[in-house]
Amino acid sequence: MTPPTSPEALLRTLTPLLAAESEAEAAAAGVEPGDLEQAVWLRLLERIRDDGAPERPAEWLRRAVRAEARRCRRAALRERPYRDDPASGPHGGEAADSPEASALDAERRRTIRAAVTRTPGRCPRLLAAMLDPADPTYREIAGALGMSQGSLGPMRSRCLGCLRRMLAAEVPVPGRRGRVR
Q: What is the pLDDT of residues 3-21, one digit of tens each?
A: 566 777 878 888 999 999 9
pTM attached to this predicted model: 0.45
- Up-side HSE of residue 21: CA atoms within 13 Å toward CB? 23
Q: What is the pLDDT of residue 91?
A: 47
pLDDT, one tens digit per residue, over 67-99 is: 999 998 888 777 766 665 554 455 445 566 788
Rg (CA), the chain: 21
DSSP string, 144-164: HHTS-GGGHHHHHHHHHHHHH
Integer Cα distance of 90 and 85 in angstroms? 12
More confident residue, 171 or 106: 106
pLDDT, one tens digit per residue, over 37-73 is: 999 988 888 888 888 888 899 999 999 999 999 998 8
Q: What is the pLDDT of residue 61?
A: 92
Q: What is the pLDDT of residue 66?
A: 93
Helices (H), the chain: 7-29, 33-51, 57-78, 99-118, 123-130, 138-145, 152-170
- Up-side HSE of residue 155: CA atoms within 13 Å toward CB? 21
Q: Give the other-Cβ count within 10 Å of 36's Cβ.
A: 25
